[in-house]
Amino acid sequence: MANTDFHLQFQEFEDDQGYVKSNQGSTTVTIDDPIKSRKQRKTTGTAPEEEEIDPLDSNDQTELLSGEKKSAPFWTFEFYQTLFDVDSHQVKNRIVGSILPWPGKNFVEVYLRSNPDLYGPFWICATLVFAIAISGNISSFLVHHGQPKYKYVPDFRKVTMAATAIYSYAWLVPLALWGFLTWRNRKIASLVSYSFMQIVCVYGYSLSIYIPAVILWIIPSEGLRWFSIVVALCLSGSVLVMTFWPAIRDDKPRITMAIIATIVILHVLLAVGCKACFFSTYEMDPSEDHNEPLRTTNSLSST
Amino acid sequence: MAEVEESSKPLFAGLSDISISEDIPVEGDISVPLGSQNADNDLSTLDEPVKDTILRDLRAIGQKFVHVMYPKKSSALLRDWDLWGPLILCVTLALMLQSGSADSEEDGRPQFAEVFVIIWFGSVIITLNSKLLGGTISFFQSLCVLGYCILPLTVAMIVCRIVLLGGSGIIGFAVRLIVVTASFSWSTFASTAFLADSQPANRKALVVYPVFLFYFVIGWMILTFSPSH
């Protein structure tokens, strides 16, 4: 008797789940369900333990459902809340994952899945902006310290410049890449396709390695700076390439190579451009500023 | 609920174990201070002298300053927010960060508008961030807390200007560094004491980090301030 009873309940539960899955976005089921179960519990008799379990139960269900449906339109507050739906340890894991590339580990598949966040990209960019401005300022102070006519000024315009550069890189490049990938996906059916937010998230986290690198640049030694640039580029560049490789693998080899080269060159340009703009050296010549990034990329690729 | 427990304790002894029944008066408590304050004020404000009105508001601001300086976990800063204190602190800080002659275009110092915008825009962004992460605090409460917690940094700015009067040597810089570091950590500590409770436990670090960055940048602006001669 007890056995059949259990069986029947199990069947009902299965039905419910199927119903929820079949029409996603119907919130009535999620609201109804806990109430129903609470009513059932009340009829069977209320014990204090059960009352305490109940909120946990409904929390579990709402969490599961919010993972399934993401249908809030982009002008609502809820839409942005889904983009900030991360915990501290998740953000920490994502930062570590973007710093340490592991062969065969796709950043999107391992860390992001269907839950890309905007928290990491936004605050990593903000930190990078202020790190560049502040450490550039300190390094120029250290370089010109002994000179008699030098007067220290906190150059505040660098914050604006750095913010423009970093945020436009972190948004425009993913936008272009997303547009290109969507266009290619129309022509060649690729198994892997990334959403715009996933690409933004990958790019935002890939900038995190630059923060310690930029702080290292305070030390006015060219060798150390180039060394940290190369290390940072290798780490974050390989994360980017490995992440986007599955999405473009099935394309023509020429286009694949072009995309990879563009991703890497833009990444190099950002690092070298920041170094040239914000960190003064002893032998810096202002007239050569514009040619600097191109020449250095050539020398980098030849080495 | 209390009557039931008093009258028939042996019968409903198990009910006292239920935590929910004790939560209900706490929920109701939110509206209580508003009501009691209205009862205090609404009759007397009509015919009181203007001086009293202003003094009462000033006293409220002063009490909040005291709360920031002694950040014990009270909700006084959260309960009735105002933006007067943040405005006063922000304008003071921005004015003090101006050097005597800000006429040269090549001067890279933060201008009044830049300081003003960084403080207000920064606190709005931090507030939005904590709301998006699922904080239970209201928008203006958070703005109020973040604004009032600039107080230690404003004090540090005053100290820095006094130290700078004596010249800017190594010792002067060391004193400024210590003062700014202390006030920066004070600001961060005070604001997190007020704000962190409104967050889920596993997201506290995510909320505290932007606050840390915000006060760090303001502290940096104060530390690097040097008057033009």
Q: What's the rounded Cα separation, in Å, for the pair A127 and A120?
A: 10
Among residues B93, B64, B85, the alpha carbon closest in space to that of B154 is found at: B93
Q: What is the pLDDT of residue A23?
A: 42
Does pLDDT of B160 surpass 60? yes
One domain for residues B28 and B68 = no
Task: For A191-224, give one letter per residue: b (16+ CB within 10 A) or e.
Answer: ebebeebbbbbbbbbbbbbbbebbebbbebeeee
State residue B123's pLDDT score: 92
User: Which of A31-35, A237-241, B123-127 is modeled with the greatest confidence?
Assistant: B123-127
Residue of A199, A181, A194 whose CA lies nearest to A240: A199
Please check whether residues B55 and B155 belong to one and the same domain.
yes
- The answer to whether the CB atoms of B204 and A88 lie below 8 A apart is yes
Q: Give residue A100's region: left, alpha or beta (phi > 0; psi -120 to 50).
A: beta
What are the φ and ψ backbone dihedral angles of B215, each rounded to 5 degrees? -70, -30
Residue B153 pLDDT level (bands cut at 50, 70, 90): very high
Is the CB of residue B147 less than 8 Å from the CB of residue B127? no
Which positions in chain A touch B19 (Cβ < 8 Å)?
A: 52
**Average confidence score pLDDT of chain B:** 77
**Shortest CA gap A53–chain B (Å):** 12
Distance of residue A287 Cα from the nearest chain B Cα, in angstroms? 19
Same domain, B157 and B184: yes
Residue from B206, B208, B226, B229 to probe the interface with A (highest A Cβ count within 10 Å):
B206
Closest residue by Cα to residue A245 from A77, A105, A122, A49: A105
Is B37 contained in some domain? yes
Surface-to-core class of residue B28, CB atoms within 10 Å of its CB (0-12 exposed, 13-18 middle, 19+ buried): exposed
Split at pLDDT 50, 70, 90, the class of A300 is: very low
CB A255 within 8 A of CB A248: yes
Closest CA to A121 of A4, A206, A2, A28: A206
Which of B14, B20, B217 is nearest residue A130 as measured by Cβ atoms? B217
Mean pLDDT throughout B184-203? Answer: 85
Predicted confidence at residue B56, as pLDDT, reads: 87
What values do phi and psi take at A49, rounded to 5? -65, -40
Please check whether residue B229 lies inside any domain of the structure.
no
Looking at the structure, do residues B11 and B83 belong to the same domain, yes or no? Answer: no
Confidence of residue A4 (pLDDT cuts 50, 70, 90): very low
Q: Which two tokens stand for residue B134?
A: 């699922």
**Region B57-65: what's the mean pLDDT?**
87
Question: What crossing angle do the helices spanning B170-195 and B151-165 adopt, rounded to 10°?
Answer: 170
Q: How far away is chain B from the Cα of A80, in angstroms, using its nearest Cα?
A: 7
pLDDT for residue B27: 53
pLDDT tens-digit readout, A62-108: 444 444 445 677 777 888 888 888 888 888 888 888 888 777 777 77
C-beta atoms of A130 and B132 within 8 A: no
Considering only residues B74 and B38, tell me which one the structure prediction assigns the higher pLDDT. Answer: B74
- Give B156's contacts (C-beta < 8 A, 6+ positions apart): B179, B180, B182, B183, B184, B219, B222
Say yes or no: B95 contacts chain A, CB-CB below 8 A: no
Sequence-separated contacts (24+) of B125-131 with Cβ below 8 Å = B125/B210, B126/B210, B126/B211, B126/B214, B129/A84, B129/A119, B129/A122, B129/A123, B129/B207, B129/B210, B130/B195, B130/B198, B130/B199, B130/B207, B131/A77
pLDDT at position B73, please? 62
Q: What is the mean pLDDT of residues A173-195?
A: 82
- Is residue B22 domain-shared with residue B109, that is, in the same domain? no
Same domain flag for B92 and B10: no
Of the two residues B37 and A208, the one the predictor is more confident about is A208
* Other residues' Cβ atoms within 10 Å of the Cβ of residue B35: 9
Q: Cα distance from A154 to chain B (closest Cα, Å)?
A: 6
Identity of the residue in B20, B203, B225 whose CB atom sits nearest the CB atom of A87: B203
Chain A environment of B114 (Cβ under 8 Å): 156
Residue of B132, B136, B199, B221 to mutate for A, most A C-beta atoms under 10 A:
B132
B27 with B6, same domain: the answer is yes
Q: How far apart are CA A208 and CA A204, in angstroms?
A: 7
Nearest CB to A156 within list B110, B131, B216: B110
Contacts of A134 in chain B (CB under 8 A): 220
Q: How many CB atoms lie within 10 A of CB A230?
A: 15
The confidence score (pLDDT) of residue B151 equals 92
Contact A48 B17 (CB under 8 A): yes
Residue type for A244, please? F
Assign B8 a pLDDT band (cuts: 50, 70, 90): very low
Q: How many CB atoms lie within 10 A of CB A232?
A: 23
Report domain extents, chain A: 2-69, 88-302
Burial class (CB in 10 A: 0-12, 13-18, 19+), A166: buried
Residue burial B47-65, b: 16+ Cβ < 10 Å; e: rest: eeeeeeeeeeeeeebeebe
Are the C-beta atoms of B208 and B193 separated by less than 8 Å? no
Element (H, E) at B222: helix B204-223
Contact B107 A119 (CB under 8 A): no
Counting residues of chain A whose pLDDT is more than 90, the rounded percentage is 12
How many CA atoms, within 13 angstroms, populate the side-chain half-sphere of residue B165? 5
Q: Residue B134 and residue A81: Cβ atoms within 8 Å?
A: yes
Percentage of residues in chain A having pLDDT higher than 70 = 66
Nearest CB among A48, A86, A155 relative to B108 is that of A155
Shortest distance between the Cα of A212 and any Cα of chain B, in A, equals 15
Same domain, B52 and B29: no
Q: How many CB pairs under 8 A join A and B?
A: 69
Four-CA torsion A227, A229, A234, A240, nearest 10 degrees: 170
What's the total number of domains in chain B? Answer: 2
Reported ipTM: the value is: 0.73
Please say whether the beta carbons of B169 and B132 come within 8 A: no
Both B20 and B131 in one domain: the answer is: no
Asked if residue B65 and residue B6 are part of one domain, the reply reads no
pLDDT value, residue B24: 53
pLDDT digit string, tens, across residues A212-230? 999 988 887 888 888 999 9
| B216: chain A residues, CB-CB within 8 Å | 130
pLDDT on residue B121: 92
- Is the Cβ pair B108, A84 closer than 8 Å? no
- Are residues B38 and B80 both part of a single domain? no
Of A52-56, B68-72, B158-162, the one with minimum mean pLDDT is: A52-56
Check: CB of residue A263 under 8 Å from CB of residue A233.
no
Mean pLDDT of the A37-60 span = 40
Q: What is the DSSP string of B70-127?
A: S--S-SHHHHS--SHHHHHHHHHHHHHTS-S----TT--SPPHHHHHHHHHHHHHHHH
B116 chain-A contacts, CB cut-off 8 A? none
Q: What is the mean pLDDT of chain A?
A: 71
Range B174-189 average pLDDT: 92
**Lookup: tokens for B173:** 């810089």
Q: Is residue B201 part of a domain?
A: yes
Residue B176 pLDDT greater than 80, yes or no: yes
CA B191 – CA B148 distance, rounded (Å): 9
Mean pLDDT over A159-172 rounds to: 90
Give residue B126's pLDDT band: very low, low, confident or very high (50, 70, 90): very high
Same domain, B110 and B63: yes
Count CB atoms within 10 A of the CB of residue B68.
Answer: 23
Verify whether the Cβ–Cβ distance A127 to B225 is below 8 Å.
Answer: no
More confident site: A1 or A275 = A275
Does residue B20 register a pLDDT over 80? no
Q: Would residue B154 count as lying in a domain?
A: yes
Query: Which residues neighbour B224 within 8 Å (Cβ) at sequence distance 6 or greater?
Result: A137, A152, A154
B108 pLDDT higher than 50: yes
Best of A156, A157, A218, A278 to disrupt the B interface (most B CBs within 10 Å) is: A156
User: Is any Cβ of chain A less than 8 angstroms from the Cβ of B139?
Assistant: no
Instruction: Give the number of other CB atoms < 10 A from CB of residue A79.
Output: 13
Residue B22: give the domain boundaries: 1-46
Q: Is position B143 within any domain?
A: yes
| pLDDT single digits (tens) A89-102 | 888 888 888 888 77
B155 touches chain A (CB under 8 A): no
Question: Has residue B228 been placed in a domain?
Answer: no
